[in-house]
Amino acid sequence: MRNAKRAALGAALVSAVTATFAVPALAAPGDTAAEKAATPRTERISVAADGTEANGPSREASVSRDGTLAVFTSEASNLVAGDDNGAADIFVKTLASGKTERIAVAGRTASEPVLSADGKVVAFTTEDGGGDRRVHTHDLATGKTEQIKTPTISYDVQGRNPAISADGKYVAFIGTPPPGEEENAWIYLKDREGGGTRAFAHSKPDWQDRTVSDLTMDDKATRFSYRYNFTTGPRADCCDVFVRDLTNSALTQLDGKSTSDQQRGRDSTQPVTTADGRFVTFQSGDDGLVPGDNDKAVNAFVWNAETGKLRRVPGRHGKGSFSRSPVPSPDGKALLYAGEGTSPTYLLDLTTSAPARQITPNPAGNYVETTPHALSNAAKTVAYATPDALTTKDTNEDWDIYVAHA
Ligand SMILES: [Ca+2]
Ligand SMILES: [Ca+2]
Ligand SMILES: [Ca+2]
């Protein structure tokens, strides 16, 4: 039933997406028998250490640079013994052994985990059920969990959407604006080793309130990327993507130069910064960001900080076919993204001209929905979420985290 339901939903989604565009051919190169045979070994990781499947949905995976650890959020209560808080928590999975640890904060729901490059610290967000959000860190060696506090700032700063430096010293987050500044978007950078907290405003250019989301940063905490939101943008869109460089205070809009006069769907979202800050990937429905984008579909883009140029990654099904939710490897050499159809997660080597590789296994050939989440350096370990059963053991009808070992 579940698969039938998903297939129907998939068909509905595809027809909705393509209704105003040319209908794509769904028998894509990525679905050939040879590509199916080449699909990397895949395991579901949102399970207990003994393999028991989760009794609630899992999401938001992050993986360590060396590909040995993964962290994710889950509402399941049976991934470890004693999880009786009835709330989503953070889980840490040692991939080789299956060892599963839980990170929880009493009385609060946890989400948005990110792992430092050295694999030692997890930063995450908690919420008290009444809208109070705070950022915490958890030291995996000592087991100590701490709330990020901002004593050098005179007003109370709530926080969410953390990003963490390679050594865990700096944590950036989106936080409460100062009193009287509520219409502007504020980002904070906390020095966990006693250096205080810096605050950065992205001031609104006109009358309309602005917010930020999708915050990420480089390993040294010198370059942020984020999505900047408004209700009705100057180009009939919801949001743009920006990079703020703390070394020279430059603020750059990555989707700022468009030749398109399209009236709708030019939203740009989900920017992700690589470890060295040289690349930022994002998705956009704007067909005028680079010459020759006539697919009338959302595409993944790679921004090169040194040249200022954008590279578009087209979908694999021709005109009308999208490439969305891009995530770069930390080393900037590979790009994970979702396409549509029966095997929708692809991995592209950005250093060669080789075509993207299919990552998602799908022996049954049903429509599959995935959300790419994270990958290690050299794309050895690739994590994504799906509500579909990609193994016969997946019977929980919930979103799970899967890992592909390339
Ligand atoms: Ca729980
Ligand atoms: Ca496009
Ligand atoms: Ca499942």
65-79 pLDDT, tens digit per residue, is 999 999 999 999 999
Find the farthest-apart pair of alpha carbons in the chain and give their distance in angstroms, rounded.
62
DSSP secondary structure code for residue 29 in this structure: G
CA of 70 to the centre of ligand 3 (A): 18
pLDDT of residue 288: 93
CA of 76 to the centre of ligand 1 (A): 6
Across all residues in the chain, what is the average pLDDT? 88
pLDDT of residue 138: 98
* Comparison of pLDDT for 145 and 205, the residue scoring more: 145
CA of 291 to the centre of ligand 2 (A): 10
Model confidence at 321: pLDDT above 60? yes
CB of 63 closer than 8 Å to CB of 70: yes
Nearest to 22 by CA among 315, 372, 253: 315
CA of 370 to the centre of ligand 3 (A): 11
CA of 298 to the centre of ligand 2 (A): 5
CB of 79 closer than 8 Å to CB of 99: no
CA of 78 to the centre of ligand 3 (A): 14
CA of 109 to the centre of ligand 1 (A): 8
Name the pLDDT band for 19 (thresholds 50, 70, 90).
very low
Rounded average pLDDT over 361-384: 90
**Please, what is the Cα angle at 44 between 41 and 50, to 5 degrees?**
115
DSSP 124-137: EEEE-SSS-EEEEE
Q: Which residues contact 313 (CB under 8 A, 6 or more apart)?
A: 299, 300, 301, 302, 323, 326, 335, 337, 348, 356
CA of 385 to the centre of ligand 3 (A): 9
pTM of the model: 0.89
State the ligand closest to the CA atom of 111: 1
CB of 90 closer than 8 Å to CB of 73: yes
CA of 213 to the centre of ligand 3 (A): 27
CA of 39 to the centre of ligand 3 (A): 19
Model confidence at 170: pLDDT above 60? yes
State the ligand closest to the CA atom of 301: 2
Q: Which range in 29-33, 293-297, 304-308 is most confidently predicted, on average pLDDT?
A: 304-308
CA of 25 to the centre of ligand 2 (A): 17
- What is the residue type of 274? T
CA of 315 to the centre of ligand 2 (A): 9
State the ligand closest to the CA atom of 368: 3
CA of 363 to the centre of ligand 2 (A): 30
* Comparison of pLDDT for 367 and 160, the residue scoring more: 160
Name the pLDDT band for 8 (thresholds 50, 70, 90).
very low
Model confidence at 345: pLDDT above 70? yes
